[in-house]
Amino acid sequence: MRILLIEDEKEIANFVVNGLRAERFAVDWADSAEKGLAWARLSSYDLGIFDVKLQGGITGIEACRRLRERGIGFPIIILSVMNDAITKVKALNLGADDYLQKPFFMAELIARVRALLRREKKTENPVFKVADLILDTIKHTVIRGDKPIKLNRKEFSLLEYFMRNQGITLTRAMILEHVWDANADPFTNTVDVHIRFLRQKIDDGFKEKLIKTVHGYGYKLEAKPDGPQTAGTGKRQTAKP
Ligand code: CA
């Protein structure tokens, strides 16, 4: 899951970026609304966190309005030191999904991020299940059959993205966009390398291989139709590009 953070204060930005990365999100930090708006045009984000008062002419609320005007619909959380009803109502009316007053606890921001992502995916369940593979986004655990699997941060994000889009072919570009941040080099084979490691951990030693190569396109995670039930989250028909 990739998040766009627009925040002009470096200390707060570092706090938020570190907190989100520790929870396995990919984060791009823009220090102005102008920069953030430009990035949002180029990349597809899963969620935005915008500060209201920013250096330069555009506020976080105005940035939100401009994105909605362009038809960009990822959920947005507005951060502000102001706690008056007028600012909150304005933010929500102009397309924000949530509002968090500064200062805030990182745990609360993370909980709101996850709640919005759940709402977006129309699933109440923070646990994803494909065949006998289970990923818990709250406890950060992965189990295949009865074997606990240890994944590093990137592998976990990668598997979560696959599980959210089970049965759907994901191209390398889609995977890079949603699992890596803007610093990723699209011309390396980093996606293939990480998928190879992930496969070793979740598929090696199991009869049914869940990660499949779709030659010429990319990869997908899928259980055999006659295999164990894929319960929990339900299959989604579409993936975000
Ligand atoms: Ca600010």
Task: Report d(CA 17, CA 28) in Å as an integer.
Answer: 8
CATH of the domain at 161: 1.10.10.10
Residue 196 lies in a domain: yes
Residue 188 lies in a domain: yes
| The residue count for the chain | 241
Handedness of CA 13, 18, 23, 28 (dihedral sign): positive
Number of structural domains in the chain: 2
Task: Report d(CA 131, CA 223) in Å as an integer.
Answer: 6
Enclosing domain of residue 212? 127-221
Strands (E), the chain: 2-6, 26-30, 47-51, 76-80, 98-101, 127-130, 133-136, 141-144, 147-149, 170-171, 211-214, 218-221
Distance 229 CA to ligand 1 centre (A): 48
Distance 16 CA to ligand 1 centre (A): 13
> 116 and 11 share a domain?
yes
Distance 42 CA to ligand 1 centre (A): 24
Task: Report d(CA 175, CA 170) in Å as an integer.
Answer: 7
List the pLDDT tens digit at each of the 241 positions of the chain: 899 999 999 999 999 999 999 998 999 999 999 999 999 988 889 999 999 999 888 999 999 999 998 888 899 999 999 889 999 999 999 999 999 999 999 999 999 999 998 887 655 567 889 999 999 988 889 999 999 999 998 999 999 999 989 999 999 988 988 898 877 777 778 899 999 999 999 999 999 999 999 998 999 999 987 544 444 444 444 454 4
Helix (H) or strand (E) holding 27: strand 26-30
Distance 8 CA to ligand 1 centre (A): 5
pLDDT of residue 6: 98
Cα atoms found within 13 Å of the Cα of residue 141, Cβ hemisphere only: 8
Enter the DSSP assignment of 228. S
Distance 10 CA to ligand 1 centre (A): 9
Residue 240, Cβ density class (10 Å: 0-12 exposed, 13-18 middle, ≥19 buried): middle
Among 104, 46, 45, which residue's Cα sits nearest to residue 79?
104
pLDDT of residue 189: 87
> 90 and 109 share a domain?
yes
pLDDT of residue 122: 53
pLDDT of residue 230: 47
pLDDT of residue 236: 42
Distance 115 CA to ligand 1 centre (A): 24
Q: For the CA atoms of 100, 105, 110, 115, what is the dihedral angle to 10 degrees? A: -50
Residue 227 lies in a domain: no
pLDDT of residue 83: 86
Residue 232 lies in a domain: no
Please, which residues have CB less than 5 A from ligand 1, an ion? 8, 51, 53
Residue 231 lies in a domain: no
Distance 112 CA to ligand 1 centre (A): 20
